Amino acid sequence: MARILPLLAYFVFVFSFLAAASGQELPSWNDTPTKAAIVSFVEKVTKQGSPEFVKPADRIAVFDNDGTLWSEQPMYNQLAFAIDRVKAMAPEHPEWKTKEPFKSLLAGDPEGIAAAGTPGLLKLIATTHAGMTAEAFATTVTDWLNTATHPKFNRSYLECVYQPQIELLRYLRANGFKTFIVSGGGIDFMRPWTQMIYGIPPDQVVGSSAKAKYEIRNGNPVIVKLPKIDFIDDKAGKPVGIYKFIGKRPILAFGNSDGDFEMLEYVTAGSGARLGLILHHDDAEREYSYDRATRFGKLARGLDEAPIHGWILVSMKSDWASIFPHK
C-alpha cells in the first residue's frame, strides 16, 4: 500500500485546499452547461419543498468504472492485470503456450485478447485464480496496483482515475447521495481499493463475479474462489445487478459505453427527477479519443440515442479542466 497511502493523503489535502480556496465544489469541472445541469439537478432534488425533492434514502447514484471513473485504454486495466498474472503463472503451466486465450495473452496479441471480450476476461481470471481465498486474491490485486504502471501515462493505475469524477462523487455524498459503482469489471478486482480512491466502500461496489464457497482451511474459515462465473454485470445485466445489490432504482447514472445503455435507460425511466450522463472520450491529447470504433468501451447506440432520452454527453475535452489527480 506504499504508493496508495500518500496518494490518499494527497487527495484529502487537495480537496480541502481547493474547496476552501475557490469556494467551488467541482473545481476540476469547467463552467459549462454540463456542470450547470449537474448542479441544478442536485439542487432541485435536495431542496425541501421543491416539487422534485427526493428524500435522502432515495438519493442513489450509480457510476460505471472502466472509462467512467478511470481509464480503460489501451485495454481494460483488469486485462493488463490478467496478462501479468498469466505471465507470472506461466512457468507452472507449460500447456498455456498452445492453448487460447493464454497463447494470445502470452504473445501480447491484441486481436486475440480483444476477441475474448469481457466474459472471456472474467472467465480467464476465474479459472486461473480458482482455489485461491478471497483474501489472498485481494492481496494479489493490491500488490499489482502498487507496482504496475500505465503504459501511456507512466503512473500507477490508481493515479489514472479521473479527478473531476472524484470531486463529483464527493459533491453527491455531501448532498446526501449514496454512491455506488456498477461495473462490468470483476468485483474482487475493485473492492480492495475503491474506498481509498473513490470513497466507495466494498458493499457499494456492484460488479461481475465468480462463484465462491465457504470452507475451513487449516482450521481457518475462509471464502474460496471457484472457476465458474456467477454473474456478468454488463449491458442488460447492469439493471439486474442494481436490483440484486441495491434493491432500489437509482436517480442518477453515469456511464461511458454501450455497456451502460440499459443502466441509463432503467435509471432515467423512473418517475420524478432523473439524471443520465455519458462521458465522451474526445480528448486525444490529455487522455484518449474514441467512441464507435474501439476494442474497449464502444459507444455507438448511446451516442445516437442520448438526445432521445435526455442524457447529457459530457465532453472530456471541454467539460473537464483537468483529467487526473496532480502527482
Chain residues binding a second copy by CB under 8 A are: 57, 134, 178, 180, 187, 191, 195, 201-205, 209, 212-214, 220-221, 223, 230, 236-237, 239-240, 243-248, 262, 265-266, 269
Tell the smallest beta-carbon distance from residue 306 to a second copy (Å): 16
Strand order in the sheet with 60-63: 220-231, 205-217, 178-186, 60-63, 252-255, 275-280, 312-315
Tell the smallest beta-carbon distance from residue 247 to a second copy (Å): 3
**The three grid cell numbers given for residue 40, joined into one nine-digit string:** 441544478
Please, are residues 145 and 158 in contact by the beta-carbon 8 Å criterion?
A: yes
- Helix ranges, the chain (H): 4-22, 33-46, 77-89, 102-107, 110-128, 134-145, 163-174, 187-190, 194-198, 237-245, 261-268, 301-309, 316-319
Which of 234, 241, 323, 318 has the alpha carbon at shortest distance from 282?
318
Nearer to a second copy, 106 or 138 (CB): 138
Q: Which residues pair with 205 in a beta bridge?
A: 181
Tell the smallest beta-carbon distance from residue 194 to a second copy (Å): 9
Nearer to a second copy, 107 or 269 (CB): 269
Which of 122, 124, 128, 76 has the alpha carbon at shortest distance from 101?
124
Nearer to a second copy, 102 or 198 (CB): 198
What distance in Å separates the CA atoms of residue 5 and residue 327, rounded to the nearest whole number? 13
Nearer to a second copy, 97 or 301 (CB): 301
Which of 256, 221, 276, 312 has the alpha carbon at shortest distance from 34?
312
Please, are residues 70 and 160 in contact by the beta-carbon 8 Å criterion?
A: yes
Nearer to a second copy, 42 or 187 (CB): 187
Tell the smallest beta-carbon distance from residue 66 to a second copy (Å): 18
Q: Which residues pair with 70 in a beta bridge?
A: 66, 161
Tell the smallest beta-carbon distance from residue 57 to a second copy (Å): 6
Tell the smallest beta-carbon distance from residue 226 to a second copy (Å): 10
Nearer to a second copy, 251 or 316 (CB): 251
Tell the smallest beta-carbon distance from residue 245 to a second copy (Å): 6
Nearer to a second copy, 213 or 326 (CB): 213
What distance in Å separates the CA atoms of residue 313 and residue 88, rounded to the nearest whole number? 40
Please, are residues 306 and 278 in contact by the beta-carbon 8 Å criterion?
A: yes
Residue type, 51: P
Nearer to a second copy, 31 or 230 (CB): 230
Tell the smallest beta-carbon distance from residue 195 to a second copy (Å): 6
Tell the smallest beta-carbon distance from residue 131 to a second copy (Å): 15
Please, are residues 260 and 239 in contact by the beta-carbon 8 Å criterion?
A: no
Nearer to a second copy, 180 or 320 (CB): 180
What distance in Å separates the CA atoms of residue 193 and residue 197, rounded to the nearest whole number? 6
